[in-house]
């Protein structure tokens, strides 16, 4: 991931970018979902932290995950922040997904497609949309 901190802050000026999460968001620009793995104990964690919450090692490395998982939580938004690419009339569905790589490691984002077709436990896969002109991770129905 080669984007500078200044460029990352400019591209994602609507997000709270910090030193702990900057690699995660820089990954979006390359359409990679980067999740921190602890070099000491091997555990994944998300949201990104500079220290492993399991063993407290500070040796953590972001790595791309497969983007396969199952729906853990589904939320339908009828109102929300004004985002050019988001319409709330349908409503807009967000899902929290249990990633296949490790039990309990989850990633939340928009669901793209018929929101009524997805339920708790449904298999989903990562895809990429566009939000404010930049790549944005979305979930779609079906295994990856």
Binding site for Zn ion (CB under 5 A): 38, 40-41, 52, 54-55, 57
Report in angstroms the alpha-carbon separations of 50 from 1, 38, 140.
17, 10, 30
Q: With respect to Zn ion, which residue has the nearer C-beta, 49 or 77? A: 49
Smallest distance, Zn ion to C-beta of residue 127, A:
30
C-beta atoms surrounding 144 within 10 Å = 13
Smallest distance, Zn ion to C-beta of residue 98, A:
20
Task: Give 125's strand partners.
Answer: 68, 140
Smallest distance, Zn ion to C-beta of residue 58, A:
10
d(CA 31, CA 64): 10
Q: With respect to Zn ion, which residue has the nearer C-beta, 41 or 86? A: 41
Q: With respect to Zn ion, which residue has the nearer C-beta, 58 or 134? A: 58
Please give the structure tokens belonging to residue 2. 């080669």
């Amino acid at each position: 991931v080669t984007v500078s901190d200044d460029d990352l802050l400019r591209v994602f000026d609507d997000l709270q970018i910090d030193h702990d999460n900057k690699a995660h968001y820089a990954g979006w620009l390359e359409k990679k979902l980067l999740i921190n793995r602890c070099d000491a104990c091997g555990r994944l964690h998300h949201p990104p932290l500079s220290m492993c919450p399991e063993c407290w090692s500070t040796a953590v490395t972001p790595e791309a995950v497969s983007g396969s998982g199952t729906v853990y939580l589904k939320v339908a938004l009828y109102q929300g922040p004004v985002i050019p690419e988001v319409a709330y009339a349908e409503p807009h569905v967000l899902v929290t997904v249990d990633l296949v790589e490790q039990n309990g490691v989850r990633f939340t984002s928009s669901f793209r497609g018929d929101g009524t077709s997805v339920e708790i436990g449904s298999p989903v896969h990562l895809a990429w949309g566009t939000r404010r002109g930049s790549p944005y991770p979305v979930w779609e129905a079906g295994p990856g």
